[in-house]
């Protein structure tokens, strides 16, 4: 039974979706004013592990994520005065965000909701709140009256003083009656993109965006809403206030918040200048999967300290897993079952699931996998691992990988290199610069492809990649490039 830590109740609870067949999730997506940094991606990887584990447990998932493509930062950085200019600017960064997600093997949401495409829904929600007496207008902006919503503070557990302190640092608001109140609709400023609505010319506040879009696609009450801990207050507290004031129904059942990626004791953040993007790390030669490994190596509720040593260690751990899979796939084995491997595999699967059921304890889950890899490597070396064990181990690998997504290195093709011509069927003509080991592997892979054993062919391609070469199949033959 999966247990998760629910910020709303402050407890670790058994997870029970409203609809037993399908879990409905909303995650707060990026603000697309620049490239996301790996601190942001720690949160997106945590959410990806959550989704993958829910799938592993047999649930179907419906996931919605927003893209904040209008706010102070996107307007400031783009210098846009029209919506078209703003879109041109933000679309670059949302495309870059999804490229990075793909490299980190983060599953795509079912719906990606852009704030600028949901203005009517936001205006309608604000009008509902106005009709119920939760809003006031000042200088063309509309504010939410916090004093009117009796449950305000139930997520963050902040008292009035804490709310005041938090509200003061929330730069997205201005000109309000009570320092705690937050803006729903911002009056248009000269030279800034804006919309004409029944609320007057302006643009939406950040909080209303997530309430309107999550309820549009997931209904007034849904299962899970996630972000990093900095979103608990004010963003998620305000989402609850807006949504529950409007619908008079419980908005979200489980709120999950991931801890930060930190650097020298401080949160990794754009404003602090202590950040790396995935692109920065790739330029330094790190494999995006090593970054994914690092980000999920510590359970999401614990802070993770970023260092280059962590990335190096993660790269090594990843290579061990990948070597193991290659060995497991390629070694010649006797038929039947050995004395230990079957039991070790069943136990590893159990421990893995137990760790993940415990509020997604990825560190323990990885420990279970590594203990198993060590045991099976011993069985292989001592000739005790047999064909049935291999099949069971490959199935287990498949299951671990459904959640961890670590067993296949990313292949990025860069310019330069050479080519290998295939003459006839599988015979290969090599360029002299390719060393013997690579040559053998390319040959084996080519034979595997001819035999239509594509799983093995992929394994061999991965191995070649690890040894520093990228190969591509073309009509003319196999092309190789040094990476």
Give me the residues that bind ligand AMP (CB under 6 A), please.
28, 30-31, 39-40, 42-43, 227-228, 230-231, 260-261, 267-269
Give the SS3 label for residue 433: coil
Q: Which is nearer to Zn ion, 40 or 317 (CB)?
A: 40
Q: What is the DSSP letter of 19?
A: B
Residue pair 239/171 in contact (Cβ under 8 Å)? The answer is no
Give the SS3 label for residue 445: helix
Which one of ligand AMP, Zn ion, none interacts with residue 463, CB within 5 to 8 A by kind? none
Give the range of 185-193, 207-215, 303-311, 385-393 binding Zn ion by CB under 5 A.
Answer: 207-215
CB of 47 to Zn ion, least distance (A): 12
Give the SS3 label for residue 40: helix
Task: Report the length, in residues, of the chain.
Answer: 483
CB of 301 to ligand AMP, least distance (A): 12
What angle (nearest 5°) sits at the alpha carbon of residue 213, between those of residues 196 and 66?
100
CA nearest to 51, candidates 303, 358, 404, 320: 404
Which one of Zn ion, ligand AMP, none interacts with residue 211, CB within 5 to 8 A by kind? none
Prior bond to 18 cis, omega within 30? no
Among the listed residues 49, 210, 373, 428, the single contact to Zn ion using CB under 5 A? 210
CB of 69 to ligand AMP, least distance (A): 11
Contacts of residue 83, defined as CB under 8 A and 6 or more positions apart, other chains included, come to 116, 193, 195
Contacts of residue 410, defined as CB under 8 A and 6 or more positions apart, other chains included, come to 103, 105, 287, 288, 289
Which one of Zn ion, ligand AMP, none interacts with residue 347, CB within 5 to 8 A by kind? none
Q: Which is nearer to Zn ion, 8 or 366 (CB)?
A: 8
* Residue, CB closest to ligand AMP: 39
Answer left, alpha or beta for residue 401, where phi above 0 means left and psi between -120 and 50 means alpha.
alpha
Give the range of 25-33, 274-282, 359-367, 448-456 binding Zn ion by CB under 5 A.
Answer: 25-33
Among the listed residues 28, 184, 224, 366, the single contact to Zn ion using CB under 5 A? 28
CA 426 to mean position of chain CA atoms: 40
Give the SS3 label for residue 122: helix
Which one of Zn ion, ligand AMP, none interacts with residue 268, CB within 5 to 8 A by kind? ligand AMP
Q: Would you state the torsion angle of the CA atoms of residues 478, 479, 480, 483, taken in this order, to the nearest 10 degrees? A: -130
Tell me the C-alpha distance between 202 and 189, whole Å: 8
Q: Which residues of 246-262 are buried (b: 16+ CB within 10 A; e: fewer)?
A: bbeeebbbbbbbbbbbb
Which one of ligand AMP, Zn ion, none interacts with residue 210, CB within 5 to 8 A by kind? Zn ion
Q: Which is nearer to Zn ion, 205 or 299 (CB)?
A: 205
| Sheet with strand 22-27: strands edge to edge | 111-114, 60-67, 22-27, 222-228, 252-258
CB of 483 to ligand AMP, least distance (A): 29
CB of 198 to ligand AMP, least distance (A): 28
Q: Which is nearer to ligand AMP, 301 or 327 (CB)?
A: 301
CB of 61 to ligand AMP, least distance (A): 19
Residue pair 354/304 in contact (Cβ under 8 Å)? The answer is no
Tell me the C-alpha distance between 236 and 151, whole Å: 13
Tokens describing residue 353: 């699931």
Q: Which is nearer to Zn ion, 239 or 259 (CB)?
A: 239
Tokens describing residue 44: 């997106």
Residue with tokens 């497991």: 328
Assess 208 for contact with Zn ion (CB under 5 A).
Answer: no
Q: Which is nearer to ligand AMP, 68 or 446 (CB)?
A: 68
Q: Which is nearer to ligand AMP, 28 or 298 (CB)?
A: 28
Which one of Zn ion, ligand AMP, none interacts with residue 39, CB within 5 to 8 A by kind? ligand AMP
CB of 220 to ligand AMP, least distance (A): 23
CB of 453 to ligand AMP, least distance (A): 41
Beta-strand relationship, 141-144 and 135-138: antiparallel
CB of 275 to ligand AMP, least distance (A): 8
Which one of Zn ion, ligand AMP, none interacts with residue 188, CB within 5 to 8 A by kind? none
Which one of Zn ion, ligand AMP, none interacts with residue 204, CB within 5 to 8 A by kind? none
Contacts of residue 10, defined as CB under 8 A and 6 or more positions apart, other chains included, come to 157
Q: Which is nearer to Zn ion, 71 or 389 (CB)?
A: 71
Beta bridge partners of residue 224, listed in sequence order: 25, 254
CB of 342 to ligand AMP, least distance (A): 40
Name the site residues for Zn ion (rule: CB under 5 A).
Answer: 28, 210
């Amino acid at each position: 039974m999966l247990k998760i830590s629910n910020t709303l109740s402050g407890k670790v609870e058994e997870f029970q979706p409203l609809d037993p067949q399908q879990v409905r999730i909303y995650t707060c997506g990026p603000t697309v004013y620049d490239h996301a940094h790996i601190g942001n991606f720690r949160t997106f990887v945590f959410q990806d592990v959550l989704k993958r584990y829910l799938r592993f447990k047999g649930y179907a998932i419906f996931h919605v994520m927003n893209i904040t493509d209008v706010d102070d930062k996107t307007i400031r950085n783009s210098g846009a005065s029209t919506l078209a200019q703003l879109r041109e600017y933000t679309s670059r960064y949302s495309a870059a965000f999804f490229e990075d997600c793909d490299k980190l093997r983060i599953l795509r949401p079912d719906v990606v909701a852009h704030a600028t495409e949901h203005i009517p829904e936001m205006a309608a929600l604000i009008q509902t709140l106005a009709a119920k007496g939760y809003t006031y207008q000042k200088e063309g902006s509309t504010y939410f009256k916090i004093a009117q919503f009796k449950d305000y503070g139930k997520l963050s557990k902040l008292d009035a003083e804490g709310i005041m302190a938090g509200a003061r640092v929330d730069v997205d608001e201005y000109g309000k009656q009570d320092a705690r109140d937050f803006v729903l609709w911002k009056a248009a400023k000269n030279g800034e993109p804006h919309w004409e609505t029944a609320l007057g010319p302006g643009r939406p506040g950040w909080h209303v965006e997530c309430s309107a879009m999550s309820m549009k696609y997931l209904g007034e009450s849904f299962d899970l809403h996630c972000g990093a801990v900095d979103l608990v207050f004010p963003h998620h507290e305000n989402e609850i206030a807006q949504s529950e004031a409007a619908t008079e129904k419980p908005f979200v059942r489980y709120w999950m918040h991931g801890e930060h990626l930190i650097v020298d004791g401080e949160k990794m953040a754009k404003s602090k200048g202590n950040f790396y993007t995935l692109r920065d790390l790739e330029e330094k030669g790190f494999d995006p999967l090593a970054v994914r490994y690092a980000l999920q190596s510590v359970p999401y509720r614990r802070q993770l300290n970023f260092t280059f040593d962590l990335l190096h260690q993660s790269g090594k751990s990843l290579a061990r897993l990948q070597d193991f899979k290659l060995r497991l796939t390629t070694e010649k084995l006797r038929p039947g079952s050995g004395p230990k491997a079957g039991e070790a595999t069943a136990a590893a699967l159990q421990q893995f699931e137990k760790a993940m059921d415990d509020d997604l304890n990825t560190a323990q889950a990885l420990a279970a996998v590594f203990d198993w890899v060590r045991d099976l490597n011993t069985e292989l070396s001592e000739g005790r691992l047999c064909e049935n064990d291999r099949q069971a181990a490959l199935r287990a690998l498949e299951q671990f990988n459904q959640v961890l997504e670590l067993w296949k290195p990313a292949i990025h093709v860069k310019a330069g290199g050479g080519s290998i011509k295939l003459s006839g069927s599988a015979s290969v003509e090599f360029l002299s610069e390719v060393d013997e080991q690579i040559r053998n592997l390319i040959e084996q892979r080519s034979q595997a492809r001819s035999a239509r054993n594509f799983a093995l062919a992929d394994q061999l391609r991965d191995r070649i990649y690890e040894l520093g070469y990228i190969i591509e199949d073309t009509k003319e033959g196999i092309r190789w490039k040094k990476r």
